[in-house]
Amino acid sequence: MKIAMIFTEYKIKDLSLKNRIVMPPMCMYSADRKGIVQPFHLVHYGTRAQGGVGLIIIEATAIEARGRITGNDLGIWNDDQIPGLKSLVDIVHGFGAKIAIQLAHAGRKATVGQCISSWNSQFSDEYPIPIKMDESDIKQVVGVFGEGARRAQQIGFDMVEIHGAHGYLINQFISPLVNLREDSYGCKNGIGAKFLQEIIKSVKNNFKRPIGLRISAEEYSNEGLHPQNFIPLLSEVQQDRSTAVDLINVSSGGVIKKGFPSNVQPGYQIGFANEIKNGTKIPILAGGMLRDSDMIEGILKDKKADLIWLGRELLRNPYWPLKTSEYFKIEKGKPQQYERAEPYFRNS
């Protein structure tokens, strides 16, 4: 019998995941204009939970209305949004999966009203010119991240992921390609840490379960950040109990308009993840165009990452984990109601 690392349990502090398969945050832009969960979300996330995913990180969810990418983003900025999110948590838990929420603010990539950023430069011509945040704006946004975290705690999410990647607001402070400030929120040693550190603190004060951070470890620009630049930043974050995180989700790109290569291959971000893992010793979630189970096994066995995500593959095929468990001859965890449809693993 093949040993399947992918189906071994993994613990993030007290949070026990039944396997190493994660659904990464993917915006569905399907909330109503008030940012409230719709039947679509219940079916969408419920199906992936039923399909056998260990941890679902739900899509970028705005911690304030002006931080939305579109008018149909999910929101966690007011109490009316709580019951819908609670139904989502209950459905996912009902299928034995764990559920995290990605707390997000789009900054200069927001398209709903006046946007804000670390600096007053627009992402591209199609985006509005942001207002450069002053210290009181910063304080207010740090505060609403905390409010979002407090609601996430109340709702019962197993984990919170802070969205520090893909050129959204936190990334607009981290990256020297965007953040040209000269005050204490500017870049020191080529990277902007203070805004991120304050947000982690604010989230940790209000959320008492594991906390993850997603980063764009590679900015695909000579003047931009590379994985090695994150090691001192993350080491500093880990040294302070009030800012230490439990998982780093290693992604890349999205900081500037041309900040993504066109010729990427399956596993293209695994090298970045491995570098961060070796340099920081923080548990790592990694992925990018993954779908081949042997390749994924190799990544886990070689300890290049602790958990792996499948994004678009789970959109195409919500039952990927079931199929893959059959490939590895694992009997546990199949829905008894679908027994007559087995085997799931067929070539035709």
Ligand X SMILES: Cc1cc2nc3c(=O)[nH]c(=O)nc-3n(C[C@H](O)[C@H](O)[C@H](O)COP(=O)(O)O)c2cc1C
CB nearest ligand X: which residue?
311
Query: What token pair was written down for 178?
Result: 């965007």
Three-state DSSP string of 105-169: CCHHHCCCCCCEECCCCCCCCCCCCCEECCHHHHHHHHHHHHHHHHHHHHHCCCEEEEEECCCCH
Residue 231 vs 289, nearer CB to ligand X:
289
Residue 5 vs 103, nearer CB to ligand X:
103
Distance CA 317, CA 323 (A): 10
- Listed in sequence order, the residues at least 6 apart from 235 whose beta carbon sits closer than 8 Å to its beta carbon are 279, 280
Q: Which one of residues 11, 312, 316, 329 is an interface residue with ligand X (CB under 6 A)?
A: 312
The separation between CA 171 and the C-alpha centre of its own chain, rounded to angstroms, equals 13
Strand segments (E) across the chain: 10-12, 15-17, 21-23, 55-62, 74-75, 98-104, 116-117, 131-132, 159-164, 211-216, 247-251, 284-287, 307-309
Q: Which one of residues 24, 84, 146, 167 is an interface residue with ligand X (CB under 6 A)?
A: 24
Is residue 251 within the footprint of ligand X (CB under 6 A)?
yes
Q: Which one of residues 214, 216, 243, 300 is an interface residue with ligand X (CB under 6 A)?
A: 214
Query: What token pair was written down for 161?
Result: 């992921």
Is residue 212 within the footprint of ligand X (CB under 6 A)?
no
Residue 155 vs 308, nearer CB to ligand X:
308
The three-class DSSP label of residue 58 is: strand
Is residue 102 within the footprint of ligand X (CB under 6 A)?
yes
Is residue 333 within the footprint of ligand X (CB under 6 A)?
no
- Pattern 25-64, binding to ligand X, x per CB under 6 A? xxx-------------------------------xx----
- Pattern 61-90, binding to ligand X, x per CB under 6 A? ------------------------------
- Pattern 109-148, binding to ligand X, x per CB under 6 A? ----------------------------------------
Distance CA 240, CA 285 (A): 22
Q: Which one of residues 116, 178, 299, 310 is an interface residue with ligand X (CB under 6 A)?
A: 310
The three-class DSSP label of residue 2 is: coil
**Segment contacting ligand X (CB under 6 A): 77-85, 169-177, 286-294, 333-341?**
286-294
* Residue ranges binding ligand X (CB under 6 A): 24-27, 59-60, 102, 163, 165-166, 214, 251, 287-290, 310-313
